[in-house]
């Protein structure tokens, strides 16, 4: 199908974009890469009165290291994350994840800001920013505010952004000593939305986790930072302890039923990903085996 009629405004600056959003409120939608918005409009799931196109705003582009933060502009495209030496060095989780996002032609236009603001619970980047302990930077009429990624996602396609605010950047703490990452997802085909996925960020020292953040996606209405990870931090990880963590994980998940999988299947796959993740990060392949519920 084709999108319903709408008006179009090409923002000339962030300030101008904010004025347009203030004028039109929730009748406006922000257009960046359009790789989620355009399908929704073509399918008539969304019919905004006006699109505010921020695609030309150079001030929202670019990846830079400032102190111990990797600052990623909202208009940074998936393909930019894949190719960026800064991302590879400081937050390689983002690079690993983006390889699973759709297909090359989509990655050439889709942006990190668009993906986060869209907040699809099955998409990869929201789980990554939660796992990385990132901060979402938004600008509104009252100025700038910073929102912890863990506080940003509120539900299916729902975020802490208000209609008059624009997501401008993501700040990711740069990977320190012993930092290591894991990304895997189950999907029917490469590039499809995940059935269940895991983006994890950890600090490993002397064979133990001194930190472990497990960002599961497609298991609920928003990316979930699993509390079960706590069982594995500063502990000697045995098969028994991992089984305990897997049980705790299955209990804390409340996955939805859809055409792709039942809640029980999603719980099972999440525990399989947990085992793989822990085995890979600790380089102990024997932990991957074992009975899951």
Residue ranges binding other proteins (CB under 8 A):
1-8, 10, 31, 34-35, 38-39, 42-43, 49-51, 53, 55-56, 79, 102-106, 108-109, 189-191
> Of 104 and 207, which has the nearer Cβ to other proteins?
104
> Of 56 and 178, which has the nearer Cβ to other proteins?
56
> Of 136 and 194, which has the nearer Cβ to other proteins?
194
Minimum separation from the CB atom of position 164 to other proteins (A)? 20
> Of 191 and 220, which has the nearer Cβ to other proteins?
191
CA 118/CA 41 separation, integer angstroms: 13
Minimum separation from the CB atom of position 198 to other proteins (A)? 21
Classify the C-alpha dihedral 152-154-160-166 as positive or negative.
Answer: positive
Q: How far, in Å, are 64, 134, 273, 288 from residue 186 at the CA level? A: 32, 24, 9, 16
Minimum separation from the CB atom of position 42 to other proteins (A)? 5
> Of 48 and 223, which has the nearer Cβ to other proteins?
48
CA 234/CA 240 separation, integer angstroms: 15
Minimum separation from the CB atom of position 217 to other proteins (A)? 20
Minimum separation from the CB atom of position 175 to other proteins (A)? 27
Q: How far, in Å, are 4, 48, 63, 114, 128 from residue 44 at the CA level? A: 7, 10, 34, 19, 29
Q: How far, in Å, are 21, 166, 215, 235, 268 from residue 54 at the CA level? A: 11, 10, 29, 47, 41
Q: Look at residues 107, 106, 160 and name the one whose alpha carbon lies nearest to residue 129.
A: 160
């Amino acid at each position: 199908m084709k999108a319903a009629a709408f008006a179009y405004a090409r923002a000339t600056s962030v300030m101008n974009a904010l004025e347009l959003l203030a004028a039109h409120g929730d009748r406006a939608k922000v257009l960046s890469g359009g790789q989620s918005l355009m399908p929704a409009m073509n399918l008539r799931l969304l019919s905004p009165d006006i699109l505010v196109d921020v695609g030309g705003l150079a001030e929202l582009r670019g990846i830079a290291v400032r102190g111990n933060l990797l600052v990623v502009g909202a208009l940074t495209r998936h393909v930019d994350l894949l190719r960026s030496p800064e991302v590879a060095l400081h937050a390689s989780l983002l690079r690993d994840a983006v390889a699973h996002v759709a297909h090359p032609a989509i990655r050439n236009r889709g942006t990190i800001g668009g993906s986060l603001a869209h907040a699809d619970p099955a998409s990869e980047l929201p789980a990554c920013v939660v796992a990385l302990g990132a901060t979402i930077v938004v600008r509104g009429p009252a100025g700038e505010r910073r929102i912890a990624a863990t506080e940003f996602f509120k539900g299916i396609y729902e975020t802490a952004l208000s209609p008059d605010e624009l997501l401008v950047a993501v700040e990711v703490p740069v990977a320190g000593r012993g930092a290591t990452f894991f990304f895997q997802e189950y999907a029917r085909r490469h590039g499809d939305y995940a059935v269940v996925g895991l983006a994890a960020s950890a600090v490993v020292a002397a064979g133990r986790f001194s930190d472990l953040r497990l960002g599961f996606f497609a298991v609920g209405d928003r990316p979930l930072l699993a509390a079960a990870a706590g069982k594995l931090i500063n502990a000697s990880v045995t098969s028994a302890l991992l089984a305990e963590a897997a049980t705790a994980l299955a209990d804390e998940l409340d996955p939805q039923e859809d055409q792709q999988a039942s809640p029980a299947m999603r719980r099972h796959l999440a525990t399989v990903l947990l085992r793989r993740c822990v085995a890979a990060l600790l380089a102990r392949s024997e932990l991957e085996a074992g009975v899951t519920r």
